[in-house]
Amino acid sequence: MSREKLAVQQARKAFLTGGSKPLEYRIKQLKNLHRFITERATDITNALRKDLYKSENATQMFEILGLEGEINLAVSNLAEWAAPRPVNKTLLTISDDVYIQPEPLGVVLIIGAWNYPIAVTLQPLVGAIAAGNAAVVKPSEVSSHTAKVMELLPLYLDPEMYKVVTGGVPETQELLKQRFDHIFYTGNSTVGKLVMEAAARHLTPVTLELGGKSPCYIDKNCDIRIACRRITWGKYMNCGQTCIAPDYILCESSIQDKVINEIQKCIQEFYTKDPKSFADYGRIINQRHFKRIMALLEGSTVAIGGDSDESECYIAPTVLRDVASGSKVMQEEIFGPILPIITVNGLNEAIQFINEREKPLALYVFSSSSKVGRVMHYFQLLNGKQTIYIFSQVIKQMISETSSGALLANDCLVHFTISDLPFGGVGNSGTGRYHGKYGFDQLSHLRSCLIKKLNMEGVNQMRYPPHTTEKLRWARVFLLKQVNLARWRQMAQVAMLVALAAFVVKRFLR
Amino acid sequence: MEKQVVDGLREVFQSGRSRPLQYRKQQLRALHRLITEHQADIEQSLKQDLNRNTYNTSLFELIGIESDIKLAESDLADWAGPRHVKKNLNIASDDVYIKPEPLGVVLIIGPWNYPWATVLQPLIGAIAAGNAAVVKPSELSEHSARLMNELLPLYLDKEMYQVVTGGVPETQELLKQRFDHIFYTGNSTVGKLVMEAAARHLTPVTLELGGKSPCYIDKNCDIAVACRRITWGKFANCGQTCIAPDYILCEPSVQDRIVKEIQKTLQEFYQEDPKSSPDYCRIINTRHFDRVLALMNECTIALGGESDRSQCYIAPTVLKDVLPHFKIMQEEIFGPLLPIVTVNGLSEAINFINTREKPLALYVFSSDKTVIKRMLTETTSGGVTVNDVLMHYTVNTLPFGGVGNSGMGAYHGRHTFDQLSHHRSCLIKSFAMESLNDARYPPLTAARLSKAKFFMQHHLCSCSGVCVWAVIATILAIGLLVGLIVVLIQKTPV
């Protein structure tokens, strides 16, 4: 039996003992995961430095912080997430228990990626553990040092319930032959299709966190300086190897020079005049990707940067100008520190450009709001009104005429850190979502439960043969009426308050 | 031809015609008119397909469709509107919400057992969510398919919603095209092929499949009532219901009683000769007739067993002392045969269920709360009804779907809308307060790191309407109570 098959078998056996059902067990495992991150912090930092030239603080901020937040959120909310969720009843079920019960799925396979190996491999694991599943974790072999550190997980987590399987393509293919109850894959669309195809053979549901070219539209009416700061930060973090990095810029030709100027200033401010010697500027993961990215420069005009050093897998923060839509750099997700600028004649052309292409994982738009709009917005917030007021026509139009996994206006990347926002793609950029409660729900089965009693059999007469018109009439009444108990309760409360008020007023105004 | 259909639909979808809520409501109303104006035709088509009478058609198909349309119409603004999200300090001044959006072109492949409900209920969700749709009704329920092909273009925008009829070759051709979601109802074998085809385009799927839905009857329960309910659920539509109780598990001591009660109930429902009862249906075709009949081979017939191939009629049949290795226990019956498998108590029943594929539905009859609790916590299934059968299907606030081999995804009511939408996370920031962002920019110092930590880890509570209402109500109530007490106190010293 292959190592992979054995791992899955053991995980399934552990799951079937029911050991992961109690919430205390899950919380203990989550806390153990937390200990893994804190006790092995040095190992993790060193591994990420070797794999991606990530600085210690960058590791903390962009890998560990988010993961810790997810663990803490799961631990403090688990009881609520795992509890039965009552739903509105029909008239027919008014005296019954009607609720949705979250349940574990079974054995979850988590295939991680190499760009944020700790975050994208372990954040799904948090959801898997919280939902009460067993798991097989397959860290990416490309970030080999981090994969090695992850082999230490069995020292912290229950080694029977949570397995780590390392290896490359053959090992992953062997894993994908096995039967899982859910497969969570982070990576690219090509492999995503293969994962889903393999999953189909066992009717295994999948979550695919893929990628694509995330467009970034800069409106000419906006604070270009600040926009470029935020874009520069988002683009060159991790040397451009972020699934939600702004892939390319769309803007009108009149502002292209200004954009380039501002980005240049930011690059200097963030990464100094010599990014190569700067601790907080990363490297490309390996030579294969280095060559791939450098080849993308072909045919385009370099406005900033362009220099590289293959021996270090170093590519300078680079901006390309006047890029043609048919050029090499526009044919695939860049996943590197190259930022092409494509000029368009305004928003409509930008929207058309975006819609002609696959739905991206993220879409960025930079545009200022009117002052009046902002004042109105805050006024509404103060009044407790919950309406969303998009006070920029540009942003409004961009939202309504495009689609993407997520949309972020006037900044980059940060939607990833909001645990109450589901994180995922659409179309070619993926299926399913996670973070926070969404991760829990994604890796659970939400089972519909209707608990009736054996009395009141008389009511059921209307459904039994022999069927008559009269019986049908009753059935219609009972099945079509929705009962909103919360609303009834509210109305009863109002009635009581009114009665009390009337009573007091009558007494007081004697 | 199929490619042209899908390309045409995608073009129309991209024109944005289905985005306005008014348009979607209009289409939903048109669909409502379709089923009310042509109710008689629909009933007739089902009589020809399955010998189903008008009452059963209403009860099992039309009422559900109507309920979903009404709900979609009344709640659409709420469903399609932005959904608020809790913020953390980092984004206190920003707009954070989830916006439901249409996916694009949805393919709906329907089965033959409830050909209208299983096609129109997903279609309602597809329309409500703003998608275009291709509807592929099952060729096995041919009269219903023909009628659907005729009527849908007369009522709905035929450039946005199209019907494609045909059999396996047409379905295969459709599955080669690129859709934005595929909604398939049918069996697990074809379900795998659908998902495989979808994988080639990274198309998400909803698979409403089937399996053997177990029905455990505890010896401590009102067996007469239990058997009435089970009989109704099993033999409706001649057993051709995806959530019909497939087989019974019970202790040997109650088996005879169960058989007796079912016999009494059958007598009451279908009289002496079910064949001539207007309420008893037929098997869909001779292929399935042969398949179902063959399942009886090794079994001991306790009730029924008669059949008539010329009419695709199989009598309501109960089989006793069925053993796990019999053919009838190897596949979903989907017919009016009810095997009883005896087990020695709850633990054995749970074990029996857990060694098999996860079913679409699970039923347990008991007056004992501990039995119910154990059954629910130690097994899994798409859905559960305790002390009755089928009924969880009728509550459209409950998501209806399978797990494992019985399917993935869920629908009904709002869940259909959600299933056929993309929930796009939106964060609208302002250009102000750029200095706060300094914490994240390189060079990354320890000071910046701790600042970032602080902001990210603190949540703000979301002031939802309910919370505000509760607070106001409580303050008012307390105020009034205090006022009342003050008044009373003032009154006492006369």
The overall average pLDDT reported for chain B is 92
Is residue A486 scored above 70 in pLDDT? no
Count the alpha carbons within 13 Å of A109 in the hemisphere toward its beta carbon. 32
Check whether the bond before A466 is cis (ω within 30° of 0). yes
Query: Residues 447-486, chain B: which have Cβ within 8 Å of A?
Result: 448-449, 452-453, 456-457, 463-466, 468-469, 473, 476-477, 480-481, 483-484
CA distance A434 to chain B (A): 12
What is the per-residue pLDDT across B214-264, written as a single tens digit (0 to 9) for each? 999 999 999 999 999 999 999 999 999 999 999 999 999 999 999 999 999
Per-position b or e across B379-399, b if 16+ CB within 10 A of its CB: bbbbbbbbbbbbbbbbbbbbb
Contact list in A for residue B200 (CB cut-off 8 A) is 193, 197
Is residue A384 scored above 60 in pLDDT? no
Is residue A332 scored above 50 in pLDDT? yes
pLDDT over 70, % of chain B = 95
Q: Which residue of B has its CA nearest to A228?
A: B431
Q: Which residue of B has its CA nearest to A64?
A: B453
Q: B5 phi and psi, to 5 degrees?
A: -60, -50
Is residue A472 scored above 80 in pLDDT? yes
Global pTM reads 0.93
The overall average pLDDT reported for chain A is 92
Cβ–Cβ below 8 Å for A447 and B473: no
Contact list in A for residue B443 (CB cut-off 8 A) is 270, 278-280
What is the per-residue pLDDT across B185-218, written as a single tens digit (0 to 9) for each? 999 999 999 999 999 999 999 999 999 999 999 9
Beta strands in A314-402 (DSSP E): 314-315, 318-321, 338-343, 362-366
What is the per-residue pLDDT across A125-158, written as a single tens digit (0 to 9) for each? 999 999 999 999 999 999 999 999 999 999 999 9
What is the per-residue pLDDT across A64-121, written as a single tens digit (0 to 9) for each? 999 999 999 999 999 999 999 999 988 888 889 999 999 999 999 999 999 999 999 9
Q: Is residue B199 within 8 angstroms of chain A, CB to CB?
A: yes
What is the per-residue pLDDT across A269-326, written as a single tens digit (0 to 9) for each? 999 999 999 988 999 999 999 999 999 999 999 999 999 999 999 999 999 999 999 9
Q: Which residue of B has its CA nearest to A415?
A: B427
Query: Residues 208-237, chain B: which have Cβ within 8 Å of A?
Result: 209, 221-222, 225-226, 228-229, 232
Looking only at the bridges linking them, the beta strands covering B95-102 and B105-109 are unpaired
When comparing pLDDT for A329 and A504, which is higher? A329
Cβ–Cβ below 8 Å for B380 and A281: no
- Residue A377's pLDDT band, with cuts at 50, 70 and 90, is low
CA distance A299 to chain B (A): 30
pLDDT over 70, % of chain A = 94
Cβ–Cβ below 8 Å for A200 and B483: no
Please give the ipTM for the structure prediction.
Answer: 0.93
Is residue B450 scored above 90 in pLDDT? no
Determine contact, residues B316/B266, Cβ cutoff 8 Å. Answer: yes
What is the per-residue pLDDT across B281-325, written as a single tens digit (0 to 9) for each? 999 999 999 999 999 999 999 999 999 999 999 999 999 999 999
Q: Which two tokens stand for residue A282?
A: 């990363």
Q: Catalytic one among A228, A239, A243, A412?
A: A243
Residue B272 falls in the annotated catalytic set: no
Region of poorest pLDDT, from A86-100, B146-160, B322-336: A86-100
Is residue B332 scored above 70 in pLDDT? yes
CA distance A87 to chain B (A): 6
- Residue B487's pLDDT is 82
- Residue B464's pLDDT is 44
- Residue B163's pLDDT band, with cuts at 50, 70 and 90, is very high
Q: Is residue A354 within 8 angstroms of chain B, CB to CB?
A: no
Q: What is the 3-state secondary structure (H, E, C) of A3-25?
A: HHHHHHHHHHHHHHCCCCCCHHH
Q: Tokens 């190569």 identify what position?
A: A276
Region of poorest pLDDT, from A36-45, A283-292, B101-110, B438-447: B438-447
- Residue B241's pLDDT is 96
Average confidence (pLDDT) over B111-115:
96
When comparing pLDDT for A498 and B283, which is higher? B283
Is residue B465 scored above 50 in pLDDT? no
Is residue A240 scored above 80 in pLDDT? yes
Average confidence (pLDDT) over A349-375:
86
Average confidence (pLDDT) over A160-182:
97
CA distance B72 to chain A (A): 13
Cβ–Cβ below 8 Å for B480 and A504: yes
Cβ–Cβ below 8 Å for B431 and A460: no
Residue B208 falls in the annotated catalytic set: yes
- The CA distances from residue A133 to A175, A435, B187, B492, in Å, are 17, 16, 27, 66
* Optimal mutation site among A203, A371, A491, interface B, most CBs of chain B within 10 A: A203
What is the per-residue pLDDT across A211-237, written as a single tens digit (0 to 9) for each? 999 999 999 989 999 999 999 999 999
CA distance B298 to chain A (A): 30
What is the per-residue pLDDT across B166-178, written as a single tens digit (0 to 9) for each? 999 999 999 999 9
Query: Residues 35-94, chain B: which have Cβ within 8 Å of A?
Result: 53, 55-56, 58-59, 63-64, 66-67, 70-71, 82, 84-88, 90-91
- Residue A51's pLDDT is 94
Contact list in A for residue B279 (CB cut-off 8 A) is 465-467
